[in-house]
Chains A and B, each alone.
Chain A
Amino acid sequence: MDNEQLTHETRSFVAHQFDDLEQQKEAGTLGMWAFLATEILFFGGMFMAYFVYRFSYPQVFAAASQYMDVALGGVNTGVLLVSSLTMALAVHAAQEGKRKQIILFLIITMVFGTVFLVIKGVEYHHKFVEHLVPGFDFHYEGAEPGKSEIYFILYFIMTGFHALHLIIGIGVLTVIAVMTARGRFTKEYYTPVEISGLYWHFIDIVWIFLYPLLYLIHVHK
């Protein structure tokens, strides 16, 4: 095997199928980008549905969006943006090989992610109380309840899939934090930290589109 020529220290990081660390890094990074391409198309299907109905029923969507809690959504946007910053700081710490800092920033990132989910849960609860969850005793006061129901089901599916991604993201970061604690990364090799960061930023970006499209259609009545 070609691996035999590598020194002992680097060998433990290089998986058997790769020739060297460089190849392994590049493969991991490209793999994540390809996965994000899949993710964009996954959300793309939902965004397509959103745009078709938004352009078919602009007034209905504007009216239904009045029921969104712009303040909570705004706070959540801030929370996610800050979490992206702390994620970037974790990657930066990894570049410098500062193990404790990596773990610290990963934990802060996960806490922000959890705060987002809690706030999202509060919003969902409000909708449930107000009978605005399609399929669960849906009752809408405004005009065109049917078309408004399409708005609300899109809201729940899109933000729901986003939240699911965030939950998976927190799981991924947990694994990365444990791997960091076990000394699996060095200054030379921290690709898993970096590509988990890519995934986290992707989740953030999806929300950056979701928030204005769902909450800010027509803020002033």
Chain B
Amino acid sequence: MSTSGSENHTNYLNDGYGVKSWLLTTDHKRIAILYMISITLFFMIGGFFALVIRLTLLSPNGTLVSADTYNKMFTMHGVTMIFFFLIPSIPAVLGNFLVPMMIGARDLAFPKLNLLSWYIYVLGGIFTLSAMVLGGVDTGWTFYTPLSSGYSHTNVVPTVIGVFIVGFSSILTGLNFIVTIHKMRAPGLTWFRLPLFIWAHYATSVIQVLGTPVIAVTLALVGFERITGVGIFDPNIGGDPILFQHLFWFYSHPAVYIMVLPSMGIVSEVVTCFSQRKLFGYRQMAFASMAIAVFGFLVWGHHMFVSGQSVYAGMAFSALSFLVAIPSAVKVFNWTATLYKGTIRFNTPMLYAFGFIGLFTIGGLTGIVLATLPVDVHVHDTYFVIAHFHYIMVGGAVMGYMAGLHFWWPKITGKLYPEGLAKFSALTLFVGFNLTFFPQFILGYLGMPRRYHIYPPEFQVLNVLSTAGASILGLGYIIPFFYFMWSLRKGKVAGNNPWNAKGLEWLTPSPPPTFNFDKTPVVTEEAYAYPEEDLAGG
């Protein structure tokens, strides 16, 4: 292990201290930090709404907040968490920091555009936050028409303007990554030598660039409809509300893969490092990422089985949805196979990666249940769906984000987090998560619908369990927040490569210098070329 990176070398953190040096920076690493702070803020806001939801559901009578307030709470929870936390989380923070470093570049292809995308994010955030402060919005994060376009009396317009704006931040990040990955790889770094984190971000970027504009224009149409009072989706004058759902899910289903693909990339990095193994089936993994991105665009109709789309469309979408299971399963099997005969270390990132694999598998298998047309008719709009997508988004995407945050924290800050406490909180998070969401599968199967603030008394036990789990889950998020802060001052100096990991980002000092590498690295080996090479096949 090299410890040549002393605390005092010039790096991106001590290269200027003023507010201006941060707010006008074009350094991808500093922009990543700006994003990290902003998405953490939105995570807390979204978490607060979740808290109110869970506390309300402690009692079957919905005593804490009124039905109207409850509607606003779950809407704002969804809007905040999806558009302002999950979608930017890994790409804009870890992707921003690591994509140039992993490919041996000095920065992204368009550094100013990168900074602009953060400002666009902030502007979108301001609109949406002001909508919340002015009284909130109650349409559900899906903004279904005609509720959103006509009947809701809440702040739909500022909210959709916020989501419209923030979409462009996501598009510009994706565009920057695509160009960077195509054009700025270090000498010798061919496509099939790229870390899977890069492949995952490439696939994600394609979705961001091709999907996001569709939801932007769709929400713009909803906005126009509200402002002029004339509806493109208004059935009173011959408009078609189902069209809105088609356009909405054309983006919002692939958006799930924007959230989970980068996590998969992180898991590939972590699993190989902490088992010191070459990844099993590298090429299949790369193609699987691309396949998920492509199939992801063909399955949106499975959200609309009971919305009035044709039965034949439903059958086609059902069949296509099953296809996504194939590349997803390839990934799970390959991670597991990578562990075989590995030298496994149970560091915190590895615990989170294991958490990801297990929870994503449960989320994925229940996804197959939901993609099955006749079963979905039974459990549609119940807590079964809520549990399923939280297993994917929290169990999958957020677990991956936590894995990545711990894995690269020493690189980002130059300091180690306290391992023991981190392992404890990873465990807390895992237990809390399952206790929160597993009961919701049962609740949904028994018929508890989503989006109601009251429920029959026989569901109370499971709801109390879920709320208890949520408080443990909350603790699992609060502890890392504090020890990360603590580690900035008191953490042990990390050195260049504390995990003995492969990858260009570990060759440079921690924290990295402003232009990442003193000399552009030349790549001569495959990704994950960990020493022992006795594994046949791959």
A interface, CB within 8 angstroms of B? 1-2, 15-19, 23, 26-27, 30-31, 34-35, 37-39, 41-46, 48-49, 52-53, 56-57, 134-136, 138, 144, 146-147, 149-150, 153-154, 157, 161
Q: A41, B213: Cβ atoms under 8 Å?
A: yes
Q: A45-B217, A147-B238 are in contact. Are A17 and B108 (CB under 8 A)?
A: yes
A152 to B388, CA, bound (A): 42
Report how far A135 CA is from B223 CA in the complex, Å: 13
Q: Report the separation of the CA atoms of residues A38 and B239 in the bound assembly, to the nearest whole angstrom.
A: 26
Chain A residues near B228 (CB-CB < 8 A): 134-136, 153
Chain B contacts for A39, CB-based, 8 A: 213
CA A49 to CA B107, docked complex, whole Å: 40
**Is B175 engaged at the interface, CB distance under 8 Å to the other chain?**
yes
Please count the residue pairs between chain A and chain B whose beta carbons lie under 8 angstroms apart in the complex.
117
Chain A's nearest CB lies how many Å from the CB of B225?
8
A153 touches B224 (CB 8 A): yes
| Smallest CB separation, B390 vs chain A (Å) | 28
Report the nearest B residue to A60, measured CB to CB: B238
Q: How far, in whole Å, are A150 and B231 apart by their CA atoms in the complex? A: 7
> A57 with B238: in contact, given A1-B515, A49-B243, A154-B232 (CB under 8 Å)?
yes
Residues of B within 8 A of A135 (CB): 227-230
**Cβ 8 A contact of A150, one of B106, B217, B238:** B238
Q: Does B211 contact A (CB under 8 A)?
A: yes
Chain A residues contacting B232 (CB-CB under 8 Å) are 49, 150, 153-154, 157
CA separation between A48 and B242, bound complex, in Å?
13
| A30 CA to B205 CA, complexed, in Å | 14
Residues of A within 8 A of B243 (CB): 48-49, 52
**Is there contact, CB below 8 Å, between A146 and B209?**
no
- How far apart are B184's CB and chain A's nearest CB, in angstroms? 7
Shortest CB–CB separation between residue A210 and chain B, in angstroms?
14
Given contacts A16-B106, A17-B109, A31-B175, contact A150 B237 (CB under 8 A): yes
Quick one: CB contact mask for B207-220 with A, threshold 8 Å, 1 for yes?
Answer: 00111111011101
Q: Give the residues from 66 to 122 in chain B that come closer than 8 angstroms, CB to CB, to chain A.
A: 100, 105-111
Q: In the complex, what distance in Å separates the CA atom of A180 from the CA atom of B280?
A: 53
Q: Please provide the 9 A-B residue pairs with the shortest distance between their CB atoms, ordered closest to farther.
A: A135-B228, A146-B237, A42-B213, A45-B217, A134-B230, A17-B107, A147-B238, A41-B213, A27-B109
A206 to chain B, nearest CB (A): 13
8 contacts between A and B (CB under 8 A): A1-B515, A17-B107, A18-B109, A27-B179, A52-B240, A150-B231, A153-B232, A161-B217
Interface residue ranges of B179-193 to A (CB < 8 Å): 179-180, 182-184
B100 to chain A, nearest CB (A): 8
Q: Determine the residue in chain B with the shortest Cβ distance to A31.
A: B179
Contact in complex: A144, B238 (CB < 8 Å): yes
Report the separation of the CA atoms of residues A79 and B231 in the bound assembly, to the nearest whole angstrom: 32
Does B258 make an interface contact (CB < 8 A)? no
Query: Which chain B residues border A18 with CB–CB below 8 Å?
Result: 109, 184
Q: Kindly state whether residue B221 has any CB partner on chain A within 8 Å.
A: yes
Please name all residues of chain B whose beta carbon is closer than 8 Å to the beta carbon of A136 when the two chains form the complex: 228
Q: Are B238 and A41 touching (Cβ within 8 A)?
A: no
Given A30-B178, A34-B175, decide whether A149 and B110 contact each other with a Cβ distance below 8 A. no
Query: Smallest Cβ distance from A172 to chain B, in angstroms?
Result: 14
Chain A contact residues: over half helix, strand or loop, or mixed? helix
- A153 in contact with B230 (CB, 8 Å): yes
Instruction: Give 1 or 0 for each of B516-538: 1 = CB within 8 Å of chain A CB.
Output: 00011000000000000000000
Query: Given A16-B107, A44-B214, A49-B247 in contact, is the A38-B175 Cβ separation under 8 Å?
Result: yes
Considering the chains assembled together, what is the distance between the CA atoms of A179 and B211 in angstroms? 33
Beyond A27-B182, A38-B212, 14 additional contacts (C-beta under 8 Å) are A23-B183, A27-B183, A30-B182, A31-B109, A42-B214, A45-B216, A49-B221, A134-B228, A144-B238, A146-B237, A150-B238, A153-B224, A157-B221, A157-B232
Q: Are B183 and A149 in contact (CB under 8 A)?
A: no
> Is B8 interfacial (CB-CB < 8 Å)?
no
User: In this assembly, does B470 line the interface, its C-beta being within 8 Å of a C-beta of chain A?
Assistant: no
Which B residues are CB-close (under 8 A) to A49? 221, 232, 243, 247
**Closest residue of A by beta carbon distance from B239:** A150
CB distance from B376 to the nearest CB of A (A): 24
From 136 to 195 in chain B, residues with beta carbon under 8 angstroms from any chain A beta carbon are 171, 175-176, 178-180, 182-184
Q: How far is the CA of A37 from the CA of B515 in the complex (A)?
A: 30
Contact in complex: A146, B184 (CB < 8 Å)? no
A153 to B232, CA, bound (A): 7
Tell me how far the C-beta of B257 lies from the nearest C-beta in chain A, rounded to whole angstroms: 16
Q: How far is the CA of A82 from the CA of B408 in the complex (A)?
A: 54
Residue contact A147 to B107, C-beta cutoff 8 Å: no
**Docked-complex contact B184 and A17, CB < 8 angstroms:** yes
Q: Which partner residue on chain B sits nearest A46 by CB separation?
A: B217
Q: Which of A26, A43, A136, A154 counts the most B-chain CB atoms under 10 A from its CB? A: A26
B213 touches A56 (CB 8 A): no
Would B209 and A38 count as touching, CB distance under 8 A? yes
Chain A residues, Cβ within 8 Å of B227: 135
Most chain-A CB neighbours within 10 Å: which of B180, B212, B237?
A: B237
Q: Chain A residues near B209 (CB, 8 Å)?
A: 34, 37-38
Closest to A160 in B: B224
Nearest residue in A to B242 (C-beta to C-beta)? A52
Kindly list chain B residues whose C-beta atoms are within 8 Å of the C-beta of A154.
232
Find out whether the CB atom of A41 lies under 8 angstroms from the CB atom of B520. no
The residue of chain B having its C-beta at the shortest distance from the C-beta of A136 within the complex is B228
The answer to whether A26 touches B183 (Cβ under 8 A) is: yes
Question: How far is it, in angstroms, between the C-alpha of A149 and the C-alpha of B233 when the chains are bound?
Answer: 12
B210–A48 touching, CB < 8 Å: no
Asked if B236 lies at the interface with its beta carbon under 8 angstroms from chain A, I say: yes
Interface centre among B108, B171, B227, B236 (most CB of A within 10 A): B171
Give complex CA distance A17, B240 in Å. 48
Interface positions of B from 254 to 308, Cβ below 8 Å from A: none
Contact A41 B211 (CB under 8 A): yes
CA distance A161 to B218 in the complex (A): 13
Q: Are A146 and B238 in contact (CB under 8 A)?
A: yes
Contact between chains at B175 and A35 (CB < 8 Å): yes
Closest to B238 in A: A147
Instruction: Establish whether residues A41 and B210, one from each chain, have CB atoms under 8 Å apart when the complex forms.
Output: yes
A17 to B106, CA, bound (A): 5
Chain B residues with CB below 8 A from A150, complex form: 231-232, 237-239
CA distance A43 to B221 in the complex (A): 12
Q: Is the pair B238, A34 in contact by a Cβ cutoff of 8 Å?
A: no
Q: A26: which B residues are within 8 A, CB to CB?
A: 183
Q: Which residues of A contact B176 (CB under 8 A)?
A: 31
